[in-house]
Structure 1
Amino acid sequence: MTPTDLVLAAVAAIFVDADVDAARALVAPDYIQHNVAVPTGADPILGFIPALKESGIALTTHRVITEGEMVVLHNTYDNAQALGAETLVAFDVFRVADGQVVEHWDNLQVPPAERVSGRSMTDGPTEVVDLEQTAANKALVEGFVKDVLQGGAPERITDYVSTETYLQHNPMVGDGLNGLGAALAAMAEAGQAMAYAETHIVVAEGNFVFAASEGTIGETPTAFFDLFRVENGLIVEHWDTVSEIPADMPHDNGKF
């Protein structure tokens, strides 16, 4: 199986088919877990499958982005009380090796009812195109993260983001550069300034580039998982999930 096929099969075994045996074959015994509520290793996941089935959890995968051994899924979990809420939007990131899933990172967020742009956290284009532009699009987003999100040269934002079309799926932010600026200013005024410190994972395929970063909102350690769509050499659309990084986790692997 390709890395994409492998990850989709493992996720289906766990969340759709509740097939413990299939999941056991696909998930490495020493699976490295970065979810902040689940112990590391395959056994905790396998042991949780019956409870997930009983809960009636429903998984919808909106986007799949694959680069090498890394696979990113943009997911919605409904009936997700077993994970902590009725509905959760998530980015699930997997690393595969030797025919098994060996590592997992995620970031989950409850979608609010009100959205500034009117868009949901998951709607919009899903098709991966422009595969020949993967390397260039990845470099573009890496530059945007360094210069704008991490504050290296924020005045260069128009080198990276379209001034004509910037569609926003963060529920707190409006469209366009004006919407982004207004949201950042409001957060700063409320004492909740957003700061990106380090980006740990970047995965690109065609017109989609995903980045997983850590930083702060105010004084709170925060994980930012961002997905960007690139068109004609500029970022034109953005999805994300944002969540607090807790001090205590049931493993020593950290959020990243």
Structure 2
Amino acid sequence: MTPQELVLAAVAAIFTDYDLETAKGLLAPDYIQHNVAVPTGADPILGFIPALEESGIALTTHRVITEGDMVVLQNTYENAQALGAGTLVAFDVFRVADGQVVEHWDNLQVPPAETVSGRSMTDGPTEVVDLELTADNKALVEGFIADVLQGGAPNKITDYISSDLYLQHNPMVGDGLDVLGAALAAIAEAGQPMAYAETHMVVAEGNFVFAASEGTIGETPTAFFDLFRVDDGKIVEHWDTVSEIPVEMPHDNGKF
């Protein structure tokens, strides 16, 4: 199986088919876990499958982005009380090696009933296109993160984001470049400035580029998982999940 096929099969075995034996074969025994509430290793996941089945959890995968041994899924979990809330939007990131899933990162957020843009946290285009532009689009987003999100040269924002079309799925921000700037300024004025300190991974495929970063909102350690859609050399759409990074976790692997 390809890395993408392997990850999708493992996720289906755990969350859809509740197939313990298949999941056991697809997860490495020393599976490295970065979820902030789940112990590391395959056994905790395998042991949780009966509870997931009993809970009636429902998984919808909206987007899949694959680069090399890394696979990113944008998911919605419903009836997800077993994971901490009735509904959760998530980015799940997996690393594959030697025919098994060996590592997992995620970031989950409860979606609000309404969003500023009127879009949900997951709707919009899903098709991966422009595969020949993967490297260029990845470099564009890496530049945006360094210059704008990490503050290297914020005045260069129009080099990266289209001034004509910028569709927003962050529930607190409306469409358009001007609205984004105003929202960031309002957050800072409210005493909760958002700061990106370090980006730990960037995964790109065609017109989609995913990035996992850590930073702060105010003084609170925060994880930012962002997905960007690029068209004609500019970022034109954005999805994300944002969550606090807890001080204590049931493993020593950290969030990233």
Verify same fold: TM over 0.5: yes
TM-score computed with the length of structure 1 as normaliser: 1.00
Deviation digits for residues 65-115 of structure 1, max 9, x if unmatched?
A: 000000000000000000000000000000000000000000000001120
Q: Any unmatched runs of 5+ in structure 1?
A: none
Q: SS of the counterpart of 2:53? A: helix
1:78 aligns with 2:78: yes
Deviation digits for residues 145-172 of structure 1, max 9, x if unmatched?
A: 0000000000000000000000000000
Residues of 2 paired with 1:53 and 1:179: CA distance? 43
Structure 1 residue 218: Cα displacement = 0.2
Structure 1 residue 181: Cα displacement = 1.1
1:190 aligns with 2:190: yes
1:225 aligns with 2:222: no
* Structure-to-structure mapping, 1:44-123, within 5 angstroms: 44-123=44-123
Q: Look up the match of 2:33.
A: 33
Q: Report the number of matched residues.
A: 256
Residues of 1 paired with 2:84 and 2:91: CA distance? 16
Residues of 2 paired with 1:166 and 1:96: CA distance? 33
Structure 1 residue 25: Cα displacement = 0.1
- The two structures, once aligned, show a CA RMSD in angstroms of 0.4
Deviation digits for residues 113-170 of structure 1, max 9, x if unmatched?
A: 1200000000000000000000000000000000000000000000000000000000
Q: Which runs of 4+ in 1 moved over 4 A?
A: none
Residues of 2 paired with 1:151 and 1:185: CA distance? 14
Q: SS of the counterpart of 2:133? A: helix
- Amino acid aligned to 2:178: N
Structure 1 residue 242: Cα displacement = 0.1
Structure 1 residue 179: Cα displacement = 1.3
- Amino acid aligned to 1:23: A
TM-score computed with the length of structure 2 as normaliser: 1.00
Q: Any unmatched runs of 5+ in structure 2?
A: none
